């Protein structure tokens, strides 16, 4: 079952009419509530002197990274599933399900070891695969690096602090927190704007010109314009584009060879397509599984990891900073914005979280099982047979992220393979 392949897509959606935007109904924009920031410690242990009792308490520095452990440094180590408490037979069934559902690659990591790895359709372990909306989780991480390095003071800052053309307008009330929680209020039509955004000559300019349709913070909406805001924010805050920032502070330190898809202006498409091998996508997941640490070194602050994996808005408890969370309800669908009946993945542990992309791309992390599952495959319009299987339904075929049928099927089967 060692076949190999890779995907691609650019949100081709059929014909959609453009409806003129009417902003007359827009309420007065109000400032968002303050976001409490957690101060970082400077040492592994600090003494907290209680003045009233004179008692001294020792606190562990939240950014301390333990030494030791298993690390893909420089290469992933491989082990038999049985040595990690898994069934090879059931794991192969998960791989067969993935193969039957148009997959190009799948990697399963347990306890830091690759216990299963499959490639189809001429894909190899070294091929960079398109990730689609998995790229959003990379984008949130890039914002986190800018924050950790002191280029951004607070998620409560106005995005307009870094976008001069928004200063003095109603958009200056959009904060970084609104951006990261998908509550910016910027207009985004699921079909029309997906198509126009994917083929825009200047994705950032299109985003900056997007009208404000809702009061920032009032409505959760899966919105590519919102994510693309992070491109000028990072560039103006750090003097680097997001790809350069990630390469210097994260990709090179942990051994990821990746590129970010860009528009005709050379600007990263923040909402999609960080291209990396299936193994390197697993490295990204492993960083989060280890709370931002890599082989004893702090790469991403514990504060940012915690923020990213905590519900970022009351409207959608299943969404952090551009990461999907399994424990929160209600969890809103990324297409219809309606609430799921249950958790995102009902048969998975509540601590599971994931990055997902069009065409059932998945980077799944289950901390309680020390487990990572990475799967990539062709997006719908690239594979006619997949379109037929989905009855040609535009929304289902193009935006299957919301249903996550294949994702759930793979996740459930891999979890079933854990027998000890």
CATH classification at residue 245? 3.40.710.10
* 168 and 251 part of one domain: yes
* 313 and 417 part of one domain: yes
What gap in Å lies between CA 401 and CA 394, rounded to an integer?
13
Residue 29 lies in a domain: no
What gap in Å lies between CA 231 and CA 186, rounded to an integer?
15
Residue 115 lies in a domain: yes
pLDDT value, residue 59: 75
* 98 and 185 part of one domain: no
For the domain that residue 281 is a member of, what is the CATH number? 3.40.710
In tens digits, what is the pLDDT along the chain, a chain of 420 residues? 444 332 233 332 333 333 333 444 444 554 443 333 333 333 333 334 445 555 656 677 889 999 999 999 999 999 999 999 999 999 999 999 999 999 999 999 999 999 999 999 999 999 999 999 999 999 999 999 999 999 999 999 999 999 999 999 999 999 999 999 999 999 998 778 888 888 899 999 999 999 999 999 999 999 999 999 999 999 999 999 999 999 999 999 999 999 999 999 999 999 999 999 999 999 999 999 999 999 999 999 999 999 999 999 999 999 999 999 998 888 988 877 888 878 889 999 999 999 999 889 999 999 999 999 999 998 765 554 544 444 333 344 444 444 578 999 999 999 999 998
Residue 206 lies in a domain: yes
* 420 and 319 part of one domain: yes
pLDDT value, residue 31: 44
pLDDT value, residue 336: 78
* 106 and 148 part of one domain: no
What gap in Å lies between CA 152 and CA 249, rounded to an integer?
15
* 410 and 307 part of one domain: yes
Centre a 10 Å sphere on the Cβ of residue 134 and count the other Cβ atoms it contains. 27
pLDDT value, residue 14: 30
pLDDT value, residue 225: 96
* 405 and 343 part of one domain: yes
* 297 and 398 part of one domain: yes
* 187 and 293 part of one domain: no
CA torsion angle for 188, 218, 174, 201 (degrees, to 10)? -10
Residue 3 lies in a domain: yes
pLDDT value, residue 381: 57
The pair of three-digit structure tokens given for residue 319, joined into one six-digit string:
């969404």
pLDDT value, residue 16: 32
Residue 209 lies in a domain: yes
The pair of three-digit structure tokens given for residue 195, joined into one six-digit string:
């198509």
- The set of residues, in sequence order, having a beta carbon less than 8 Å from that of 22 and lying 6+ positions away, is none
**CA-based torsion, 131, 137, 140, 142: positive or negative:** negative
What gap in Å lies between CA 66 and CA 40, rounded to an integer?
17
Last residue of a domain, one of 207, 226, 258: 258
Residue 1 lies in a domain: yes
The pair of three-digit structure tokens given for residue 244, joined into one six-digit string:
């350069």
Residue 38 lies in a domain: no
The pair of three-digit structure tokens given for residue 144, joined into one six-digit string:
């986190």
Last residue of a domain, one of 258, 286, 317: 258
Residue 270 lies in a domain: no
**CA-based torsion, 366, 367, 371, 372: positive or negative:** positive
Domain span at residue 385 reads 1-9+60-131+276-420
* 250 and 285 part of one domain: no
What gap in Å lies between CA 68 and CA 66, rounded to an integer?
7
* 338 and 389 part of one domain: yes
* 96 and 139 part of one domain: no
* Full 3-state SS string of the chain: CECCCCCCCCCCCCCCCCCCCCCCCCCCCCCCCCCCCCCCCCCCEEEEECCCCCCEEEEECCCCCCCCCCCCCCCCEECCHHHHCECHHHHHHHHHHHHHCCCCEEEEEECCEEEEEEECCCCCCCCCECCCCHHHHHHHHHHHHHHHCCCCCCCCCEHHHCCHHHCCCHHHHCEHHHHHCCCCCECCCCCHHHHHHHCCCCHHHHHHCCCECCCCCCCCCCCHHHHHCHHHHHHHHHCCCHHHHHHHHHHHHHCCCCEECECCCCCECCCCCEEECHHHHHHHHHHHHCCCEECCEECCCHHHHHHHCCCCCCCCCCECCCCEECCCCCCECCCCCCECCCCCCCCCCCCCEEEEECCCEEEEEEHHHCEEEEEECCCHHHCHHHHHHCCCCHHHHHCHHHCCHHHHHHHHHHHHCECC
The pair of three-digit structure tokens given for residue 413, joined into one six-digit string:
């089967």
Last residue of a domain, one of 223, 258, 293: 258
For the chain, the domain total comes to 2
């Amino acid at each position: 079952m060692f076949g190999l392949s890779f995907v691609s897509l650019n949100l081709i959606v059929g014909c959609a009419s453009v409806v003129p935007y009417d902003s007359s109904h827009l309420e007065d924009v109000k400032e968002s509530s303050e976001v409490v920031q957690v101060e970082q410690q400077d040492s592994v242990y600090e003494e907290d002197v209680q003045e009233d009792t004179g008692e001294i308490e020792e606190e562990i520095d939240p950014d301390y990274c333990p030494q030791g452990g298993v690390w893909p440094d420089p290469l992933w180590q491989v082990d038999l599933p049985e040595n990690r408490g898994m069934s090879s037979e059931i794991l192969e069934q998960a791989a067969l399900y993935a193969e039957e559902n148009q997959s190009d690659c799948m990697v399963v990591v347990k306890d830091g070891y690759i216990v299963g790895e499959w490639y189809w359709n001429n894909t190899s372990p070294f091929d960079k695969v398109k990730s689609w909306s998995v790229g959003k989780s990379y984008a949130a991480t890039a914002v986190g690096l800018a924050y950790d390095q002191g280029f951004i003071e607070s998620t409560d800052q106005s995005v307009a602090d870094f976008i001069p053309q928004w200063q003095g307008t109603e958009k200056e009330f959009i904060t970084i927190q609104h951006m990261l929680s998908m509550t910016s209020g910027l207009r985004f039509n699921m079909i029309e704007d997906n198509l126009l955004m994917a083929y825009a000559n200047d994705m950032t300019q299109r985003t900056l010109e997007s009208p404000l349709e809702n009061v920032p913070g009032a409505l959760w909406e899966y919105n590519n314009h919102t994510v693309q805001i992070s491109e000028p924010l990072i560039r103006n805050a750090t003097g680097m584009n997001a790809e350069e920032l990630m390469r210097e502070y994260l990709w090179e330190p942990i051994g990821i060879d990746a590129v970010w898809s860009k528009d005709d202006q050379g600007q990263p498409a923040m909402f999609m397509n960080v291209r990396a091998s299936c193994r390197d996508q697993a490295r990204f997941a492993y960083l989060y599984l280890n709370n931002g640490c890599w082989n004893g070194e702090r790469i991403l602050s514990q504060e940012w990891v915690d923020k990213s994996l905590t519900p970022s808005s009351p409207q959608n408890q299943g969404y952090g900073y551009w990461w999907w969370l399994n424990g929160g309800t209600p969890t809103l669908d990324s297409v219809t914005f309606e609430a799921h009946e249950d958790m995102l993945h009902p048969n998975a542990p509540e601590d599971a979280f994931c990055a997902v992309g069009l065409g059932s791309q998945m980077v799944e992390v289950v901390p309680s099982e020390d487990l990572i599952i990475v799967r990539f495959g062709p997006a719908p319009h690239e594979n006619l047979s997949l379109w037929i299987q989905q009855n040609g339904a535009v929304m289902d075929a193009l935006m299957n992220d919301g249903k996550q049928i294949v994702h759930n099927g793979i996740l459930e089967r891999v979890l079933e393979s854990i027998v000890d």
